[in-house]
Amino acid sequence: MTLSRRTTLQWLAAAAALPLFEPPALAQAGAAAVAPPFAVVDWPALPAAKPAPGYGRDPKLMEPSVPWPLTLDRAQRATLDLLGDLILPPDGDAPGAGKLGVAAFVDEWVSAPYPVQRADRERILPGLAWLDAQSRALGGRSFVALAPAQRTTLMDALTVATPAPRMVAPVAFMDKLRYLFVTGYYSLPEGKADMGYIGDQPTEGPYPGPTPEALAHLDRVLGELKLSPAVARS
């Protein structure tokens, strides 16, 4: 999918504003490391990004400037869109992340010259290079052209909780990519609709107040916290 820079900049700003947190590592203390069923290629070293200007703290999203160049090539974007549909696949009326063009969002993210995005860039770019090299070592093809069974084997090895030493960096890459996919996907209207989010919507007429189901949920949470619902509501 081809998206305009205005769209991707708006998407970047919306995702950066989400109150999401990055989940902690899933490794369990004392758990045995899981070795992949293939020889692991070396993790590549890529040059650091060149300095680029940012757009400041108050961007004009309706008339955005484009102060930094994009990073990813067409093949890398194709890989990301495929991964997006594998990790967040279509479900009912909800399209997959790749179908929505999540690669364009990741490209804008890793190209932005801010500390968080630059740190993510240092993991995503080598990870994409590693994924392609590992795919060629497995099946003689790039990741997007890999046989489905080999692709499944590779993806399974990238989702273990306690990876073997040579797989620590690749698993961390996939964890970061999964986090960016979720962040990008659920900052879009399609993602919000998929999870049933009804905020940011105008209410016609007088505000009806919370539903009985919402109040029951609040009372249950307050009870678990040993707080009085009556006192908390007042």
Rounded distance between C-alpha atoms, residue 227 and residue 234, angstroms: 12
Rounded distance between C-alpha atoms, residue 206 and residue 25, angstroms: 45
In degrees and rounded to multiples of 5, residue 163 shows phi and psi of: -75, 155
- Grouping H, G, I as helix, E, B as strand and the rest as coil, residue 163 is strand
Rounded distance between C-alpha atoms, residue 2 and residue 37, angstroms: 37
Rounded distance between C-alpha atoms, residue 15 and residue 110, angstroms: 13
**pTM for the complete prediction?**
0.73
CA-based torsion, 97, 98, 102, 106: positive or negative: positive
Mean pLDDT by 10-residue block, N- to C-terminus, for the chain (234 residues)?
A: 65 67 54 88 85 66 70 95 91 83 91 89 96 96 95 94 93 92 78 61 74 86 75 54
pLDDT of residue 2: 65
For the residues of 168-200, what is the DSSP string, one character each?
Answer: HHHHHHHHHHHHHHHHHHTTSHHHHHHTT---S
pLDDT of residue 126: 96
In angstroms, the Cα distances linking 187 to 72, 97, 192 are: 21, 11, 7
pLDDT of residue 195: 59
- Angle ∠(139,143,146) on CA atoms, nearest 5: 45
The rounded Cα 20 to chain-centroid distance in angstroms is 11
Rounded distance between C-alpha atoms, residue 171 and residue 158, angstroms: 5
In angstroms, the Cα distances linking 172 to 9, 10, 95, 147, 154 are: 26, 27, 26, 24, 14
pLDDT of residue 20: 57
What is the rounded radius of gyration, in angstroms, for the C-alpha atoms of the chain?
21
Rounded distance between C-alpha atoms, residue 52 and residue 43, angstroms: 26
Task: Go through the chain and tell me how many residues it has.
Answer: 234
Kindly state the tokens that stand for 202. Answer: 């105008």
Rounded distance between C-alpha atoms, residue 120 and residue 112, angstroms: 10
Rounded distance between C-alpha atoms, residue 61 and residue 67, angstroms: 13
Phi-psi region of 226 (alpha: psi -120 to 50; beta: other; left: phi over 0): left
In degrees and rounded to multiples of 5, residue 95 shows phi and psi of: -75, 160
